[in-house]
Amino acid sequence: MFLQFLAEQWLLVSALAACLMLLLFHEGRRGGPSLTPHQVVGLINQKEAAVIDLRDPAEYRKGHIVGAVNLPFAKLQERWGELEALREKPIVLVCKLGQTSSSVGKQMRAKGFTEVYRLGGGLVEWDGLHMPLVKE
């Protein structure tokens, strides 16, 4: 029955799929551009970008990007002043998979931060490319 509907209404199904993809793309961009690990390294080296790790402290200690500041998502509102101090620098948000960083990026852009970026794929992507991690 479902397959029959798909076959008969392929144009509607295609339009729905296209709308969903555009919505996901738009929502992702609102949190700031997504960067590859290599682009993040370039931004750190060329513009001295600040790296904010949004994971909890236990995950942060297991491995984080060199120079990253741990600002757990759960404590973000009470530690917002630390982000304000970095307003003039490019900021790269890092989380485990890239979803939390999108949410925080939206909040930051709404509060007037202009150079907010996200590590696409999060630290899982970074580690998957065997990029260096500091482990405590």
In tens, the pLDDT along 58-92 reads: 999 999 999 999 999 999 999 999 999 999 999 99
* For the chain, counts of helices (H) and of strands (E): 7, 5
Candidates 89, 93, 122; CA nearest to 106 is 93
Q: Is the pTM of this model over 0.85?
A: no
Identify any residues that bridge with 50 across adjacent strands, giving them in sequence order.
91
103/51: higher pLDDT: 51
Give, in order, the Cα–Cα distances in Å from 9 to each of 4, 93, 128: 8, 41, 40
Is pLDDT of 32 > 90? no
CATH code assigned to 31-128: 3.40.250.10
